[in-house]
Structure 1
């Protein structure tokens, strides 16, 4: 029977082609996921190892231990004095803001250069190493991007400890949070790649300069140690560890050789890689589930078309076991071939992706390595073969149900099961009802615990699972109802297409189910992501109704305010004074602004609170009747409960006078145009920082926060939708399979209709309408179901943050998904329609299949 199975594949290879393609996509996705994960880890090890290439031993902080430069400074001398040590260099890094004459404020990753050139991991391209305390060396790409050369100056923001006095009877002076120090560029260097700071401007200064200006805010990455030529590494390692153990950093630092340090640092930096790998595996699993449905449905059609053949084999003596083994062997062989091709394609795609990344971002992917572990092809092939065998179990069981007498029946007799599985119906509807109940309970109790978010996710999964299990009952009536409504104007082809979808309900349901899963997930992510972004924005506006706020410790002149007003996205600017609110509200200490009522209306818009003289505006759920506030004086101020702003409180100037608020303690409040996009928000943030001579980190507000998470959500949406398109593509292949094999199965029927007067154009329209009907209805169900689940998910995620649910259901996106389904349905019917049109009525009636 194995020979029979292989002969069937060889003779009817076209029937198995689309099956193999679906398997190849699923298996290739799995293999590519493992290859990408392994390659990211290998590239990370290569990049980290390059940073330690000139060291003999490395001292690194323990897992989740942070050590700043000032803490480690007292240890440098004991380490250097250890027998066998030639030189010691502290590798640190801090993120700071810099500004030059040729560029506006930019973020820099700043590090100290080793005192001993032998430990340099960079090479000077132009100029010299930093020697003076204000010397600066820039990375070659950074200098090119910023237009900076030798001799140019860069001003860096440097943290300064504010001067305060806690005694109530002594006035408080709030010193500036930052000052600036000017550095001169003395060198341009090739610094290689830093995997922990990809794409960031990079610079070096002297160890002394770093220690004075940046050590307190930076993190120690490692201490690199170079040994004397005659030193014993093991002995020196023990000596270094002894020096550490006798210091205040005991148990916080560990001495390793270069290989151990490289592995440890790579493992700690790979958290993001693990998240990427896990996300890819989830989407690969979704693709595998969809592929199982597609392959199972396609094999069911193939088995149904060969029932006379199976009956004849039974007449010739083949047992049920042999028939079963033959069908499973066909599935295993097709799965093996498809999996091998998918793994090869996935491997090639991984190499192409690496080459593309190196070409497009050569600096960030300089150490990119494609590593193909044995597990990648093994897992891809195993998944492909296993999913195919699982998918052929039900068709194989229907094949062994064929009796020899069925060989005498007409070919076009229905081969659908006479009865439906009652346990299947009960389990499917039970899952749907349980899922709806769990979603309802989760929505009702979500405010009490975030754990109900998982309950909602489980409820949504149960609904989708129940829909798939009960699809034979639910989907065909919906398809028929929409078909009657939409396809009636197409006349006979439209009515026949609707009837054909009801001839084998299970086939129609399974074909639609695969597409429903993919579209539901896409729609859930789109509607949920966009609605979450809109709801979080609304909640942020409620909690902190100021678009942009810049705290200053000096008075601001009118020229600077005029420059701010001239910026394109700025619609209003006002100046407020700041006091300290000493009471927590919902676990956060809010800003307290002393502001004129007219200015409040201009910068907060229509939702601005109405200020009451002598009172502080607090949120409606504020429990007390007063709020503790502090300026030069400290007092309890009566409150007026309005709105929901708990991160920004507002009061009038008379309260500010009573508190003794300093005239130099100000904040510039800016209102932006409502139509400004994310890029515009970040652009105006830099412009405001430059005009007011502060760092971008000090330019905050609801618009800035909204821009940050909007950008993050947009990136996640794009990645998720692109990955889910693989599952949707596999599902659309299932539609093509069903139409193609239905042409083979209904050859005599089509020939008879041609003989009765159905034209070739009508036959083509019949097949096209049938494919479009199934794919578009499946997409429509997926869009509606996914949109509903996305809205529920948004409410569960944001219920503690926003009082209102803002639904952002993108109609263009939904119509786009529906259009893709319609176009894919048309394309899937082209080849079958051409094949059906080429068959003459006489030939079709002459041959059974």
Structure 2
């Protein structure tokens, strides 16, 4: 039986090629994902470990998480803590670390680093005058205000060298600094495309902290002192709100964070690899079903001469094992190439990855081989089992035994139950809120797809019959194409289902993305009256100097302006964020509906709270509650109004004059403003010019805000299109496979058609139309399911984003249907050509 199985594989090389390609693509995706994420993770881990080589113990602030603690972050470390740590037994050296945001402009005025990670720090010279963290490659370290040192990668990208001037922004206003040095560093964020600027310690403290304060203290052990011993000594001199951590633990924790970050990316990419493999299953089942059908007499003869059912099944599975193994090995090799390519693509986008070898772990090899073999063998099991169950005499009499009526009834009943259960679960999940409905909806979606797949033979007849009038235009080839498409509904269903899965996901995601964009636009329009929102670059929540709002307030075109100040506080026992605003201007800048009170009540100790906070605390207008401010002082506030919160405006709103005295660092996170002429390009340019054409500051109108939020969805959607493209390619292979084997199976019939007058062009047209019909059938099912899943997911999103509005992207759905038709046309090229070239006499003789 082993020899027979191998002979059959070698005898049907061309027929099994598509199966090998389908499995290979899925395996290559899996292997490429594992190689890529393992390589990136390994490179970052090694880079971070280098960064901790000079640190044996790190001292950092430690916030106590209890109700008695002062709101906000733990206090920074003082010079006294540094002095005590430096004198502790076993200490070789100690240096203070200060970090913050520091945006650098290139010589064209654009932001260097693209906002990925723009950091500033301090150069802390030791007894030898050097900071062990940084090695000066050019010039010297900064020693006074107005001097700066750049990392070598940033200097190279910005074309800066020692002696040049550079424009810098820390909290809004533009500063011009002199580049006095260029240094090298093992910092992972710099290696990944970020920027790092160094100042002298006194200047860094003024910019990022306060004089005499540090964000961290790094300690190097004296010779012969272990990290554990050093930590125990330092613990003795630490204040209450500080903690010490060994360098080994820091490196281990950092490695864990990197691994977790890569794990989420790996999981997401493996999901799409799984989709490609799932689509490939349809091809494998189809291929082996047809191979078994074509060898029915051969298998029956084997049964007649003594082969058992188990041996027949085993021979089919041995073929599948061989095919899967070949596909897995080729896929693994291709996957290694894909992993290397993905790293190169990542580097070409500017997000450079630390240098390191390509990592092909033993796990990657094992998983790739197992996936290839297991998926193929499991997919071939059902056709093999079906072949073994055919009685020898029946098989001898009929090569193609039609499925029984009872079998079709059972299949349709099971499919209907699955589909109904899937719809019920999806609808039930859509009726829930937030994450509660995700589980039922995901499970219901899977059940519904399975149900539709089971029902596709039943659905194929009416849907394909619906296009009969169009096919009649093509005469006899069109009529034959329709009959061929419904002749074997199971095969047609399996082929169409491969395309259906890919288009379901693509359509669903497109519906969600378009609806999210509409919801975000509605949110900006409903929540804001202001013409512009000004904020720092990056994530938009970095501290903005109060000077920015003062500068903008002097612009003649500005009619209303309010800085937004955020301060953590403990309100009625819970941690909340107080939002300080200008009580006179805020009503002109935000749009909220009040359930009680109005903006007129805002001022002094009277505050406005959103409806959720009011509901949770049973507050109404006039309710008073205790507050602990950021600096630890206590007071009482009174509810002056209750408003309906939205995504743009929510929380506890109060007069800036009330909260500012209690802030440890006075800064704004946004400035809202309204202008005479409304939001125009000229006004926007004027505001930017007023702020010194600062690359670190964003001046955005409502549409800019919407576009920025939507950009993330668009980027994600484009990535998903690319990843799902793999499933569509596999589906194309499935259509080619089905048509090629169908042509082989119908050789005698095609020969007869040629003999009675159908020319080669007619044969080609017949095969192409059949392919087109099958592809459009899969496209219609996929788009229909995608719209349904998009609606259901939108109901969940709407519970979190009230402005969400479902939008059907008719143009894109038409494009997807056109793409399905194109798949059919392309997939039919080779099978149609092959069918038209069949020798009619030889085909008529074919068994």
Q: TM-score range by the shorter chain?
A: 0.7 to 0.9
Aligned: 1:389 with 2:412: no
CA RMSD of aligned residues (A): 4.8
Structure 1 equivalent of residue 76 of structure 2:
70
Structure 1 equivalent of residue 12 of structure 2:
12
1:48/1:689 CA distance change after superposition, 3 Å = farther
Structure 1 equivalent of residue 673 of structure 2:
669
1:445/1:407 CA distance change after superposition, 3 Å = closer
1:505/1:673 CA distance change after superposition, 3 Å = farther
Structure 2 equivalent of residue 332 of structure 1:
321
1:131, 1:76 → 2: CA distance? Answer: 20
1:59/1:478 CA distance change after superposition, 3 Å = farther
1:484/1:224 CA distance change after superposition, 3 Å = farther
Is the 8 Å Cα contact of residues 63 and 241 (structure 2) preserved in structure 1? Answer: no
1:627, 1:645 → 2: CA distance? Answer: 26
Structure 1 equivalent of residue 189 of structure 2:
195
Structure 1 equivalent of residue 768 of structure 2:
768
Structure 2 equivalent of residue 302 of structure 1:
291
Corresponding residue to 1:455 among 440, 463, 482: 440
Most deviating of 81-90 and 750-759: 81-90
Aligned: 1:543 with 2:522: no
Is the 8 Å Cα contact of residues 98 and 155 (structure 1) preserved in structure 2? Answer: yes
Corresponding residue to 1:405 among 393, 404, 418: 393
Structure 2 equivalent of residue 841 of structure 1:
840
Most deviating of 3-12 and 74-83: 74-83
Structure 2 equivalent of residue 173 of structure 1:
none
2:271, 2:92 → 1: CA distance? Answer: 50
1:102/1:216 CA distance change after superposition, 3 Å = farther
Structure 2 equivalent of residue 163 of structure 1:
none
1:441-480 aligned at under 5 Å gives the runs: 441-446=428-433, 450-474=435-459, 476-480=460-464
What is the CA distance between 1:699 and its match in structure 2? 5.7
Corresponding residue to 1:521 among 505, 517, 524: 505
Structure 2 equivalent of residue 647 of structure 1:
649
Aligned: 1:425 with 2:412: yes
- Secondary structure, aligned partner of 1:270: helix
Structure 1 equivalent of residue 364 of structure 2:
376
Residues 219-265 of structure 1, C-alpha deviation per residue, up to 9 Å, x if partnerless? Answer: 957725264xxx2142x6403432124412688322244xx643332
What is the CA distance between 1:465 and its match in structure 2? 2.4
1:372/1:554 CA distance change after superposition, 3 Å = closer
What is the CA distance between 1:348 and its match in structure 2? 2.0
Structure 1 equivalent of residue 138 of structure 2:
126
2:695, 2:347 → 1: CA distance? Answer: 33
1:482-497 aligned at under 5 Å gives the runs: 482-497=466-481
- Secondary structure, aligned partner of 2:125: coil
Structure 2 equivalent of residue 243 of structure 1:
234
Is the 8 Å Cα contact of residues 281 and 376 (structure 2) preserved in structure 1? Answer: yes
Is the 8 Å Cα contact of residues 732 and 775 (structure 1) preserved in structure 2? Answer: no
1:201-240 aligned at under 5 Å gives the runs: 201-215=195-209, 220=215, 223=218, 225=220, 227=222, 231-234=223-226, 237-240=228-231
1:392, 1:579 → 2: CA distance? Answer: 64
1:91/1:640 CA distance change after superposition, 3 Å = closer
- Secondary structure, aligned partner of 2:530: coil
Corresponding residue to 1:135 among 147, 164, 168: 147
Structure 2 equivalent of residue 80 of structure 1:
86
Is the 8 Å Cα contact of residues 547 and 672 (structure 1) preserved in structure 2? Answer: no
- Secondary structure, aligned partner of 2:393: helix
Structure 1 equivalent of residue 123 of structure 2:
113
Is the 8 Å Cα contact of residues 580 and 591 (structure 1) preserved in structure 2? Answer: yes
Structure 2 equivalent of residue 49 of structure 1:
49
- Number of aligned residues: 794
1:254/1:425 CA distance change after superposition, 3 Å = same
2:305, 2:565 → 1: CA distance? Answer: 94
Is the 8 Å Cα contact of residues 156 and 183 (structure 1) preserved in structure 2? Answer: yes
1:777, 1:788 → 2: CA distance? Answer: 17
What is the CA distance between 1:799 and its match in structure 2? 2.2
Aligned: 1:575 with 2:560: yes
2:734, 2:838 → 1: CA distance? Answer: 24
Structure 2 equivalent of residue 167 of structure 1:
none
- Secondary structure, aligned partner of 1:490: coil
What is the CA distance between 1:590 and its match in structure 2? 6.4
1:537, 1:253 → 2: CA distance? Answer: 47
- Secondary structure, aligned partner of 1:647: coil
Is the 8 Å Cα contact of residues 276 and 726 (structure 2) preserved in structure 1? Answer: yes
- Secondary structure, aligned partner of 2:42: helix
Is the 8 Å Cα contact of residues 96 and 110 (structure 1) preserved in structure 2? Answer: yes
What is the CA distance between 1:198 and its match in structure 2? 3.3
Is the 8 Å Cα contact of residues 286 and 727 (structure 1) preserved in structure 2? Answer: yes
Is the 8 Å Cα contact of residues 528 and 787 (structure 1) preserved in structure 2? Answer: no
- Secondary structure, aligned partner of 1:531: helix
What is the CA distance between 1:94 and its match in structure 2? 2.0
Is the 8 Å Cα contact of residues 517 and 782 (structure 1) preserved in structure 2? Answer: yes
What is the CA distance between 1:732 and its match in structure 2? 1.9
Most deviating of 817-826 and 299-308: 817-826
- Secondary structure, aligned partner of 2:359: coil
What is the CA distance between 1:9 and its match in structure 2? 1.1
Is the 8 Å Cα contact of residues 32 and 337 (structure 2) preserved in structure 1? Answer: no
- Secondary structure, aligned partner of 1:369: coil
Aligned: 1:748 with 2:748: yes
2:22, 2:650 → 1: CA distance? Answer: 55
1:392, 1:73 → 2: CA distance? Answer: 71
